[in-house]
Chain A
Amino acid sequence: MIKVDHLYKSFGNNEVLSDISLEIKKGDVVAIIGPSGSGKSTLLRCINLLELPSKGKIYIDNDDITTFNQRNVIKIREKVGMVFQHFHLFPHKTVMDNLTYAPIKVKQTTKSEAQEKAIKLLNRVGLSDKVDSYPSRLSGGQKQRVAIARALAMDPEYLLFDEPTSALDPEMVKEVLDVMMSLAKQGMTMAVVTHEMGFANKVADKVIFMDHGQILEVASPNEFFNHPETDRAKEFLEKVL
């Protein structure tokens, strides 16, 4: 379980997150939505310590990760995978090497084991024919599916997605959402920052609405999309739906 407890984050004098508390239970899919600049990415990045919180606590399986040092940070990164808007595949490595590099380096997996696993994962995301391709030869949708497979190669218990489809051409959005949906079905615990309201509605167990660094609503998709409580959420939904 991930538990965020009265979290604050400032960049200089700019308070980007203020008094954030939330829980993500094992197996849950949580959609985080809200206007641009509301702090969604920053929240996600605090959960795997890509950003250091200014105040407050974050528990992952009962460990308070805000007290962690360099060594423990790696433990968190093994447990919590991340998928970025712009993929960030390693451009000088083949798809296979993208998938096997971290397991070999970080988890001391043997090369053959890592490769076997990579093939399975590529099958799962429908890209087994791209094993030896370089990322530059892939479409956006394919890149993002490889990036998801790369994150899965570390056997994470949690996956964070930061707008995984926002950089994609519209016709490629579905192939990525399909992969995410199947992950959700298989019980992966996921926190997804997204502008895909359809996905949030259909797949999420819980929707979190953020604005100006605060959580304004936490609700089931049904409640949130049909009966938003705050004016800000209503306004936001009018704009995006």
Chain B
Amino acid sequence: MGIFSGFSLIASSIPYIINGVWTTLEIALVSAIIGFVLGVILSLFKIGNIKILAWLSDFYTSIFRGTPLILQLTLVYFATPQLIGYDISAFLAAIITFGFNSGAYMSEIIRSGINAVDKGQFEAAGALGVPYWSMMKDIILPQAIKKILPAMMNEFITLTKESAIVSTIGVLDLMRRAQVVAAENSLYFPPLIVSFAVYYVLVMILTILGRLFERRMSRSD
């Protein structure tokens, strides 16, 4: 059977696969938001002078960086329900795992951004009597985040691609849908290539959007 007749065989399922992009994006987006919020909090703990919080944040980060993501996901989805006595949906398990995991990486990125802000900015804010948290929120973080936009965009793209792992717990994302269609038709190449192409186009679009956004943000420099 030729490749093209293969595609025509699954033609009616192609929209189904492509629509998986919304699930993929939803997981990536929600996880990125959780990851960002967590990342900000953890990074502030890391650079703050409360030793125990700094230590806990470093520990948190090392846990998520030091173990396989797929194992984290499996633990959250299959093991947590046994511990807490409630089932959690695959989608919830996905965004918890990816959000918490991303928080670990994001906190390192944000910390490096904060460290890259001129020390004089802290002093100028301090000398004007600006309280610590206001200084962080209004003066330091906006500058830090501007510096790390490319790294954060990278993190988001990684998240988008890595989210394919959620197919292992049955979330019907781009990857899983391709597998479903493949299994139904016992035909692998066409459906997998469809999701392959969608991932690629998606990442390209995100890359371009990221660049446009960066350019916009750097205008005040």
Contacts and interface: CB of A to CB of B under 8 A. Distances in A.
A93 to B, nearest CB: 8
Nearest to B126: A50
A92 B142 CA distance: 8
Contacts of B125: 90, 102
Interface in A129-169: 134, 136, 150-151, 154
A84 B123 contact: yes
A106 B116 CA distance: 26
Given A105-B138, A134-B220, A92 B128 contact: no
A77 B127 contact: yes
A87 to B, nearest CB: 8
A81 interface: yes
A88 B121 contact: yes
Interface stretch (B65-73, B129-137, B197-205): B129-137
Chain B interface residue bracket vs A: 20 to 34
A78 interface: yes
B123 A78 contact: no
A86 interface: yes
A82 interface: yes
A151 B124 CA distance: 9
A104 to B, nearest CB: 10
A215 B125 CA distance: 29
Interface in A20-75: 48, 50, 73-75
Q: Which of A48, A73, A88, A134 has the most CB of B within 10 A?
A: A88
B119 to A, nearest CB: 9
Nearest to B145: A92
A224 interface: no
A91 interface: yes
A8 interface: no
B120 interface: yes
Given A90-B139, A92-B146, A102 B120 contact: no
Contact of B128 (A86, A91, A106, A134): A106
Interface in A105-134: 105-106, 134
B221 interface: yes
A101 B138 contact: yes
Interface string B170-202: 000000000000000000000000000000000
A102 B130 contact: yes
B192 to A, nearest CB: 45
Nearest to B124: A88
Interface in B23-41: none
Interface residues of A, number: 26
Given A91-B143, A92-B143, A154 B129 contact: yes
B142 A81 contact: no
B88 to A, nearest CB: 40
A88 B123 contact: yes
A91 B220 contact: yes
A154 B127 CA distance: 11
A190 to B, nearest CB: 15
B129 A88 contact: no
Contacts of A50: 123, 126-127
Contacts of B142: 92
B118 interface: yes
Contacts of B143: 91-92
Given A90-B139, A91-B221, A74 B131 contact: yes
Contacts of A48: 127
B126 A77 contact: yes
B112 to A, nearest CB: 18
B220 A102 contact: no
A91 B146 CA distance: 11
Given A102-B130, A154-B129, 13 more contacts: A48-B127, A73-B129, A77-B129, A78-B129, A88-B118, A90-B125, A91-B143, A92-B142, A92-B143, A92-B220, A105-B130, A105-B131, A134-B220
29 contacts: A50-B123, A50-B126, A50-B127, A73-B129, A74-B129, A75-B129, A77-B129, A81-B127, A81-B128, A82-B127, A84-B123, A84-B127, A88-B120, A88-B121, A90-B121, A91-B143, A91-B221, A92-B142, A92-B143, A101-B128, A101-B138, A102-B125, A102-B128, A102-B129, A105-B134, A105-B138, A106-B129, A150-B128, A151-B127
